[in-house]
């Protein structure tokens, strides 16, 4: 398969605003040329003379949007990020114009699919559904209004994200005693100045350890409020405007609410179905969540007499303290086994065996050289070993990039970016991971000899493999005839199932021992320590689920009622207290930095819906042979390789051999109270 040329990439040549604009304009011009050719076709419409041209237009638009969006999130230059934001809006306008183009729609409706394969038919049927949901059948004046609303939605979403990305809050520490309880490597990275003062930030490598380990209630509260007031008040009005525009668009398209529109082409099918699903999970999780909280509160009161409640700023800390006593497990005890670089290699080695592929560092010079957008980024080529036992052979099937450490101006969370949609015989799929782990060097990937080892928490390791699951879905699902169904092009509420399934693999002692080696002694993590970690980590699932219900219902409710009736602060507080037992912390403005409200909009339920699927998937693997058992290759073939060429329900049933079930999820939840450690 041909390599994706470096000319495909928006960042080649250290893109400045003008060169990025020229790059986008070239791809938009190619997009428009394909559409002109499509509309000029005379005679019967066929897959060859119509769908192929439509898909070429989609491929150009997808490439322009994804790579420009990447630079908006990661470019070291603010001028490039700003220009990328404007260009993302321009590309979005072209996408909206295409979705409202009745001539293109009628050309696709007229296609002769009598000899088409199932993937092609699915592609066309789903595309036509999306056209109808976009409003292509409305009159011209209505289509113009729809386009204006869509453009406004794009701009508001970009503004919301930029405000979060560029507004890092800081937390002053004027008494180093407040750092009591934090790990030694954290303290080494945060030396006080001459008068004993230092400043923390709300970036993940500072935020997570403080909330988990700091004994100081005051420090945890300051960090909690700093983190949950990022982009406030700027994003408060941005969000309200976004909700109003979305509702107007939904009404224009004939839907009662945005939530009804957003679920119309998903596996879930409707907002009513989402509500029913959430009601079932609410009823199932409430008793366990209440019991769990009562146990932790009683424990906390023994150590802090007079404590009346655990608040939202202290929940993570007290759960950590409880696990230390109830399970003899201190989560700091596993961190020395998870230095960043060996963890990365362990994830690569595990994924290579599981998915029957090989990863090679991409060449930096010469033919096939990989261009990167920052010195700390690494590039990797993927080779197929599905049918070849030789470790040094196989077809080159993709490339990915790892941008794994925080830096100024960079996207602040953890995500996978599909970049190049794979098309068989034309271009390989490419994707990137954008993360914010500690460790390594944010300036030079080779300058790690004396760098911070980046000791990760176990949850970071799980997050790494979760995001890597998205990446492998993009690569293995990117071997398609059509760009429009390439990679992670499934229904939106299926995309988290493959990545969440992979989280379960890192409970295996033998798997962890293959790479979790003490950064000083080289000793593998003891199996008994992993067993204690697994028992301890099972505790808390009740209120983990309750927290997910809060996020899910909040995102759904904001998009399922008249925007004029919304009071963001009151609605968030009431939703929080209804779902979770922790005391509310005044001043919490989580909604101002909850970027899933722009990405998933009303459909945050995806995480819970897909957790059910993911656990059902994982149950098909042999616990004694997780990586090399027969389920791994079957999973690759039935779930990942089809990309978006089949409906999500079909992917699920093909792998399971039956419809999905709640049984595995219920058993997973019941593990929380399976140990005698929980006896009252």
Average pLDDT of span 364-387:
90
Helix (H, G, I), strand (E, B) or coil at 412: coil
Per-chain mean pLDDT for the chain: 93
**Six-digit token string for 32:** 């428009």
CA distance to 5, 90, 269, 358, per residue, from 19 (Å):
17, 16, 43, 35
Query: For a pLDDT cut of 90, what percent of the chain falls above it?
Result: 89
Average pLDDT of span 158-175:
94
- For the segment 269-298, what is each residue's pLDDT rounded down to a tens digit? 999 999 999 999 999 999 999 999 999 999
Where does 102-213 show beta strands of DSSP type E? Answer: 170-173, 198-201
CA-wise closest residue to 592 among 162, 164, 158: 164
Which residues, including other chains, have CB under 8 Å from residue 526's CB and lie 6 or more apart?
A: none
| Domain residue extents for the chain | 6-99+101-134, 167-227, 271-297+541-678, 340-525
pLDDT band at 7 (very low <50, low <70, confident <90, very high): low
Model pLDDT, residue 8: 80
- For the segment 413-442, what is each residue's pLDDT rounded down to a tens digit? 899 999 999 999 999 999 999 999 987 654
Global confidence as pTM? 0.93
Average pLDDT of span 345-362:
96
> With 60 as the cut, is the pLDDT of residue 450 above it?
no
CA-wise closest residue to 465 among 338, 647, 298, 576: 338
> With 90 as the cut, is the pLDDT of residue 402 above it?
yes
Where does 385-479 show beta strands of DSSP type E? Answer: 396-403, 415-420, 430-434
C-alpha to C-alpha distance for 524 and 469, rounded to whole angstroms: 25
Element (H, E) at 91: helix 78-99
C-alpha to C-alpha distance for 664 and 643, rounded to whole angstroms: 25
- For the segment 178-216, what is each residue's pLDDT rounded down to a tens digit? 999 999 999 999 999 999 999 999 999 999 999 999 999
Domain at 340-525, CATH from 3.40.109.10, 3.40.50.300, 3.40.390.10, 3.20.20.70:
3.40.390.10
**Pairing verdict, β 378-384 and 357-361:** antiparallel
Domain at 271-297+541-678, CATH from 1.10.1370.10, 3.30.230.10, 1.20.120.1630, 3.40.50.2030:
1.10.1370.10
**Any idea which residue has 């052979």 for tokens?**
393
CA-wise closest residue to 178 among 213, 202, 208, 153: 213
Q: 6-99+101-134 adopts what CATH topology? A: Glutathione S-transferase Yfyf (Class Pi); Chain A, domain 2 (1.20.1050)
Model pLDDT, residue 445: 43
In this structure, what are the phi and psi dihedrals at residue 384, rounded to the nearest 5 degrees?
-80, 130
Which residues, including other chains, have CB under 8 Å from residue 422's CB and lie 6 or more apart?
A: 397, 398, 428, 429, 475, 478, 479, 480, 483, 486, 487
């Amino acid at each position: 398969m041909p390599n994706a040329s470096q000319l495909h990439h928006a960042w080649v040549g250290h893109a400045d605003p003008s060169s990025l604009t020229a790059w986008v304009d070239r791809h938009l011009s190619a997009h428009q040329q394909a559409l002109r050719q499509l509309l000029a076709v005379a005679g019967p419409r066929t897959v060859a003379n119509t769908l192929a041209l439509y898909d070429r237009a989609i491929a150009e638009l997808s490439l322009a949007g994804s790579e420009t969006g990447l630079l908006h999130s990661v470019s070291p230059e603010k001028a490039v990020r700003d220009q990328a934001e404007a260009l993302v809006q321009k590309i979005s306008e072209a996408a909206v114009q295409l979705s409202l183009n009745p001539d293109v729609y009628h050309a696709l409706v007229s296609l002769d699919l009598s000899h088409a394969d199932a993937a092609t038919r699915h592609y066309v049927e789903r595309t036509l559904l999306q056209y109808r949901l976009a409003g292509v059948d409305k009159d011209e004046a209505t289509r113009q209004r729809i386009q204006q609303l869509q453009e406004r939605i794009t701009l508001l979403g970009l503004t919301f994200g930029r405000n979060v990305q560029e507004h890092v809050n800081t937390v002053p520490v004027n008494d180093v005693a407040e750092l009591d309880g934090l790990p030694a490597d954290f303290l080494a990275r945060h030396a006080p100045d001459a008068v004993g003062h230092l400043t923390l930030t709300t970036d993940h490598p500072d935020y997570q350890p403080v909330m988990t380990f700091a004994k100081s209630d005051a420090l945890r509260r300051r960090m909690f409020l700093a983190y949950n007031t990022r982009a406030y008040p700027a994003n408060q009005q941005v969000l309200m405007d976004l909700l109003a525009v979305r509702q107007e668009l939904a009404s224009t398209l004939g839907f009662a609410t945005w939530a009804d529109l957003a679920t119309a082409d998903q596996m879930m099918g409707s907002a009513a179905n989402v509500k029913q699903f959430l009601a079932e999970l609410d009823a199932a999780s409430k008793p366990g969540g209440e019991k769990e909280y009562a146990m932790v509160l009683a424990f906390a009161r023994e150590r802090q007499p007079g404590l009346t409640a655990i608040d939202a700023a202290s929940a993570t800390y007290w759960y950590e303290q409880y696990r230390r006593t109830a399970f003899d497990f201190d989560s700091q005890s596993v961190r020395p086994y998870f230095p960043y670089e060996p963890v990365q290699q362990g994830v690569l080695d595990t994924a290579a065996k599981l998915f029957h592929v090989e990863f090679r560092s991409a060449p930096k010079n010469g033919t096939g050289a990989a261009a990167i957008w920052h010195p700390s980024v690494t590039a990797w080529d993927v080779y197929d070993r599905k049918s070849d036992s030789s470790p040094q052979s196989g077809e080159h099937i993709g490339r990915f990039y790892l941008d794994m450490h925080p830096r100024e101006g960079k996207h602040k969370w953890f995500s996978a970016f599909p970049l190049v949609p794979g098309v068989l015989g034309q271009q390989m799929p490419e994707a990137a991971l954008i993360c914010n782990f500690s460790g390594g060097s944010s300036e030079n990937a080779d300058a790690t000899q004396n760098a911070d080892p980046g000791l990760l928490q176990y949850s970071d390791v799980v997050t790494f493999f979760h995001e890597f699951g998205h990446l492998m879905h993009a690569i293995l699902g990117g071997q398609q005839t059509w760009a429009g169904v390439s990679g992670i092009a499934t229904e939106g509420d299926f995309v988290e199932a493959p990545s969440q399934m992979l989280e379960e693999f890192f409970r295996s002692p033998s798997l962890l021992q293959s790479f979790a080696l003490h950064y000083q002694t080289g000793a593998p993590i003891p199996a008994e320590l992993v067993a204690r970690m697994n028992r301890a980590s099972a505790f808390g699932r009740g209120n983990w689920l309750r927290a997910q219900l809060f996020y899910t219902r909040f995102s759904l409710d904001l998009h399922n009622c008249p925007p004029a009736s919304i009071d963001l602060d009151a609605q968030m507080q009431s939703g929080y207290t209804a779902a979770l037992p922790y005391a509310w912390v005044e001043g919490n403005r989580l909604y101002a930095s909850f970027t899933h409200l722009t990405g998933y909009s009303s459909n945050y339920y995806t995480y819970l819906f897909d957790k059910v699927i993911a656990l059902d998937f994982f149950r098909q693997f042999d616990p004694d042979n997780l990586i090399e058992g027969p389920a791994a290759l079957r999973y690759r073939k039935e779930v990942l390789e089809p990309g978006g060429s089949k409906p999500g329900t079909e992917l699920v049933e093909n792998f399971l051999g039956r419809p999905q079930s709640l049984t595995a999820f219920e058993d997973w939840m019941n593990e929380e109270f399976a140990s005698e450690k929980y006896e009252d």
